[in-house]
Structure 1
């Protein structure tokens, strides 16, 4: 529930099959999310939990700090993940031998170690380093390519590949393997829903799109492949 509230956005349609795509405004999304949490806490007699959620997460002042719906465009970077990633690399790579370093040492490390690495990375991204040589795909580009190719496959092929991988995995216990095979079979028999897919805005109302790292889903990928005759993009 909370994960869904984080990813909801006015540009992403709600999943209402066989109906014109419905979009909620930012205010309506906030009201809907707060009401859903309130109803859940009330149904389970969690008054203290509701007080915490409202004061720390769902009040108008706190909502704009973390909800995707508070932005006009769909943000691709979540909260302070880039700052936290940079700080984690700084602590583990440059300050791992120091406990609570002095401010002057921290400034020196940032200026002499961190900033040169960032400058080299920016030059590499902009093509100013090793000009004339082809650039290999970045790690995130490799992951995006792998996920795109996987979503391009049919449901039957993906299900078969999952089943074969499970059967070939000798590290799984028999009961674990049986549970995985049962889940694969249940997913294979599950009826497929109908979703609102829009290539102009590259949005879809399916649950997978809502939480996708790339803002993609198999419906969008397959529709793009169909309209481009599977030509490389």
Structure 2
């Protein structure tokens, strides 16, 4: 019953925050933006909330505000089946609540401290709200596992970065040596040699031309089709 709103929210963020510059864009560009912008953005937010813990989830503030509002309401004489251990109540407000809370559960739970709102976790399976100590321990273990997984990815990214640095160093060194050879042969007036090796520089000249045109463009690139292998990931 609640699944469709998460899908709508996902597409709303995708269209309003990342695809607002485009109109009727191709599918390959959508996949490219999701992989290069949306996924890194969500990964950074996940690390800030669960790994580094510098931020709090957006729903916690609204949950705390609604909790305090329901705590101040007056109970009527209606009797409902209320169980705070399994976090269930038979009142209609519980079933229609965004956080599955109601005044009967909250007032039976009693007054809680400020740390309680940092210890509450939401689940995709019942019970959807759980504050037991065992659940918090399981989450901490899961959090530790996520941290180890994040460290593994960071090590892989560092290794990939080192490989790219070595490639840059090798290409720069080769280009500088070739430039020295060209200047030396030019000073010696060796024109027969330069005519025989001119074809070796045609791919480099093509790359330079495509990058120059790409940097001077006035319109945004629409899809992969608008780019070549020389300009696809050029920044």
Q: Note whether the superposition's TM-score is higher than 0.5.
A: no
Higher relative contact order (CA 8 A, sep 6+): 1
**TM-score of the aligned structures, taking structure 1 as reference length:** 0.44
**TM-score of the aligned structures, taking structure 2 as reference length:** 0.44
Tell which structure's C-alpha radius of gyration is larger.
Answer: 2
Structure with the largest fraction of helix: 2
